[in-house]
Chains A and B, each alone.
Chain A
Amino acid sequence: MTLATLYGTLGIVLFALGLYGAIVRRRVLRKLVAVNVMISGVFLTFIAAGSRSPGEPDPVAQAIVLTGIVVTLGGTALGLALVRRIHALDLTSDPLEPLDG
């Protein structure tokens, strides 16, 4: 087993763990964190996909992950802003409260 395969497998495991969290957790903030675990898993797999042959790691895979990081950062930040907005609109609610499951 090469190092790249190990990283790829780790990425897949992270993806599945994050998915489990995103399904099972009821609190929105935890769901967002779980989704970010999935994100890390996918990116790890992508980087590993570009470094499975010996030699320089694939610059395309690196560039794609960089682009992906920025895109997912936008989504996460928007999610946090929405959670905060829900709390601001309804001060009686706990900001960590679950969405309707």
Chain B
Amino acid sequence: MIWSVVVPLAGGLAALLAPRRAARIAILTSVATLAVALALTRAVALDGALEHRPGGWPPPLGIRLVVDGVGVLFLLLVALVFVAATVYGASFFDPVETDRIDTGREAYDAEASDHAVRKGPRAPEGFWALWLFALASLDGLFLTADLFNMYVAIELLTLASVGLVAITNDRASVTAALRYLLAGMVASLFFLLGISLLYAEYGVLDLEALATAISAATDPASATGVALPLILTGLAVKAALFPFHFWLPPAHGSAFSPVSAVLSGLVVKGPFFVLLRLVTGPFAPVVPEAAGLALGALAVVGILWGSVRALQQPRLKLLIAYSTVAQIGYLFLALGLAISDPAGPAVRGGVVYALAHGCAKASMFLALGAIVRSTGHDRIRRLIAPQRGAPIAVSAFAVAGLAIMGFPPSGGFVGKLLIGEAATGADQWWTLAGLIVGGLLAALYLFRVFRRVFVAVPDDTAPLPRAPLGLEVPALALAVVSLLLGLAAALPLGLVS
């Protein structure tokens, strides 16, 4: 299982060494990581959870890596989205060496070139190394069962993500990256202070040893009662739960499209997964039910706020970014419900929703990049019939949009259904209401786009430049996966329980 981390780490080093062949290295590495994830899925499905001890030292002394059914599903999601986004990225960036030093902005301004074949930006130096290190840190985060190792992995993920945002290298993206970095650093420090209090109380960092110590403690309320909210807050900021979402829309809205796809589809799931592992694992006996209610309440507000802001956005990319703020709410709804009933359908609902959202949201950002390559802009008001230039991407956007809205038979539908079931079981009518209203609002802001795309008649019939297939096909592939997830939900659900 350690290969899930070793392969992308080695790929990242290779990409640093050979910048000219970096795109090819990245494709090879992501495909190899997918192969590792598939082999792991098979192993976990047959034998249950697996464990690995780097260095061979026994647990409280060394670090333990664990992969269970939920973990392997996330590894699979990460590998799948990375393969699609890497293939996409290889076409997204202009392979031809040019002496342009801009990264796309100037040509975007030049609307005169509308009907020329649009070229992509040049891949910035170091892009693919950061890309593969982000993959390695995500996989590392989904594997680790050690508190401090979680901190290191999450920090590696944050720095790689910040770097990938900043690499666009214009004022909007660098400012967004700086804000992302500041929020991320403060959040990590909350997390780390919580860890240090736990270490002071129990003297261990390994999750299993911590679980034993917590359930054996006669009075576990002393430092744990303070450490827990610190850890929850830190990870909630990293996962962009309302009201800590402020860093997300500018960062996701100003990055390169393949980067936005990975950030929105995968990176915010990292801290969510860690929270899920902590509150259903070692902290299960000490998390107060009030914490679950508080998370649920923030989640509902986040769903409504994110959706309303998405409705107001003039640019499609920011609309998708705000939609992520809303969708993170669903994940935290599931998390809140899982705190009061760890064995209930909430965990399964949250996981399926995370998988569906990961594929669908990544697909939307990839499709958006293809559409923009054709139209030259993403102003919703002027985005009339872009299927003239990017027909496959537009259909991918539509299919992924259905999954985001939670239409049957998409994976989003199954996830919401399970979360709704958990809410009914817990008699939380307001959670259910948030779930339904959020779905309606999602339909509203997406149909606002669809209306432009499918219904509005263009006033000029001039053909748009065709987006390259390398941009359109990966978007469609991920959209189809998000749909299939609903039809074949039994497979992932079987791994969770």
Contacts and interface: CB of A to CB of B under 8 A. Distances in A.
A79 B163 CA distance: 10
Interface stretch (B17-25, B195-203, B272-280, B480-488): B195-203
Contacts of A67: 148, 152
B193 A45 contact: yes
Contact of B178 (A12, A45, A64, A82): A82
B171 A83 contact: no
Interface string B147-181: 01001100110110011001001110011011101
A40 B166 CA distance: 26
A85 B166 contact: yes
Nearest to B192: A42
Interface stretch (B85-93, B182-190, B419-427): B182-190
Contacts of B199: 46, 49-50, 61
Interface of B is mostly: helix
A78 B200 contact: no
A88 to B, nearest CB: 9
B193 A15 contact: yes
Contacts of A38: 186, 189
Interface in A5-62: 8, 12, 15, 19, 22, 28, 31-32, 35, 38-39, 41-42, 45-46, 48-50, 52, 60-61
A69 to B, nearest CB: 12
Contacts of B185: 35, 39, 72, 75-76, 79
A76 to B, nearest CB: 8
A42 B182 contact: no
A4 to B, nearest CB: 9
Contacts of A75: 155, 158-159, 181, 184-185
Interface residues of B, number: 31
B169 A85 contact: yes
Given A61-B199, A78-B159, A78-B163, A86 B189 contact: no
B200 A49 contact: yes
Contacts of B170: 89
Contact of A19 (B159, B174, B186): B186
Contact of B200 (A31, A52, A100): A52
A13 to B, nearest CB: 12
B176 to A, nearest CB: 9
A86 B186 CA distance: 21
Contacts of B178: 28, 79, 82-83, 86, 99
A19 B162 CA distance: 21
A89 B171 contact: yes
Contact of A35 (B148, B163, B166, B182): B182
A3 interface: no
A85 B174 contact: yes
Contacts of B148: 64, 67
A28 B471 CA distance: 37
B470 to A, nearest CB: 30
B179 to A, nearest CB: 6
A90 interface: yes
A37 to B, nearest CB: 10
Contacts of A1: none
Given A22-B182, A42-B193, A78-B181, 5 more contacts: A41-B193, A42-B196, A52-B200, A75-B155, A100-B179
7 nearest A-B residue pairs (beta carbon): A49-B200, A46-B196, A82-B178, A89-B171, A45-B196, A38-B189, A85-B174
20 contacts: A19-B186, A22-B186, A28-B182, A35-B189, A38-B186, A38-B189, A42-B196, A45-B196, A46-B196, A48-B200, A49-B197, A49-B199, A50-B199, A67-B148, A75-B155, A76-B185, A82-B162, A82-B174, A86-B175, A89-B171
